[in-house]
Amino acid sequence: MPNLRLMFDNKLIDQYAVEYGNPLTIGRKETNHIVISNLAVSSNHARVEFKDDGVYISDMESKNGTFVNGNTIMTCRLKDGDEIIIGKHKLLYSESDGGKRVYPGGPAGAPTSALDSTMVLDTSRHRDMLSNILTGSKKADGAKRKTPIPVLLYIKGGEGKVVLRNKFTRIGKEDTNDIVVKGLFVGARAATVTKRSDGYFISHMKSWARTCVNGEKVKEARKLEHGDIVTLGGLTMKFLSKPKKNA
């Protein structure tokens, strides 16, 4: 049976079986199956699920991200021997027999803190893993060339622009979203723009009003291209990823 071994400072903390039909949630809240009580870990950080074609791990819009073999992921299929980094902890995935049946709850790692907010991780290793997202490409002489940060420019439903600096840009009716869209049929969290190593992707979440790109409904995560028009309810925005050309 596939299993996950939770490690901290190269010491085994616990081992968990990955069973078909029983997804494992990972996070700081004690309601998770794998609890990591560390402020670098989001309350609901990641999810591991055994599907028909293999075992998959998905990031749950965590603040510090989920890494597989040093690469940040949103969803990916796990292979035997994969190393998962969540906060300062490591999960080793194995497809050999082992692990134990788990249920929600159960502390792991550092003591539980009374603070409820997630601390942004700023270690050198974490910065190195994020480098493929946060830094620009290099010139031949080794000097870094600045890469423009893409923006969503309001055409309808707002003014100005939203700079896509964060890993996630949330769109929806609730005021906690980065882009607030009012409307009866707009969901509380209607869509999310995710920054990945290979570009920016928009995903439709839960909303009667559909998220569209260039008039087409977004069904799966769709990569945004320069000049794409994003619509949702009364909102219309233009995705710009290239600098303006000088006249």
- Residues in CB range of 67: below 8 A, 6 or more apart: 73, 84, 85, 86, 129
**Total residue length of the chain:** 247
Distance in angstroms (rounded) separating the CA atoms of residues 235 and 71:
33
- What pLDDT shows up at residue 64? 84
- What pLDDT shows up at residue 151? 92
Mean pLDDT on 80-104? 79
Task: Please give the backbone phi and psi of residue 224, each rounded to the nearest 5 degrees, phi first.
Answer: -85, 135
Please check the confidence at residue 110 and state whether its pLDDT lies above 50: no
The residue written with tokens 């995710």 in the block is: 194
Q: How confident is the model at residue 142 (pLDDT cuts 50, 70, 90)?
A: very low
Q: How confident is the model at residue 103 (pLDDT cuts 50, 70, 90)?
A: very low
Distance in angstroms (rounded) separating the CA atoms of residues 98 and 80:
13
- What pLDDT shows up at residue 135? 39
The residue written with tokens 């699920």 in the block is: 49
- CA distances in angstroms from 101 to 13, 18, 45, 84, listed in the order given: 15, 8, 20, 20
- What pLDDT shows up at residue 136? 41
- What pLDDT shows up at residue 106? 41
Mean pLDDT on 21-25? 93
Instruction: Count helices and strands (H / E) in the chain.
Output: 1, 22
Query: Over the stretch 202-242, which tens digit does the pLDDT of each residue have?
Result: 999 989 999 999 999 998 899 999 999 999 999 999 999 88
Q: How far is CA 19 from the centre of its chain?
A: 23
Distance in angstroms (rounded) separating the CA atoms of residues 87 and 123:
10
- In whole numbers, what is the pLDDT of the chain averaged over residues? 82
Mean pLDDT on 132-145? 42
Percent of the chain with pLDDT over 70: 77
- What pLDDT shows up at residue 61? 83
Please check the confidence at residue 39 and state whether its pLDDT lies above 90: no
pTM of the model: 0.49
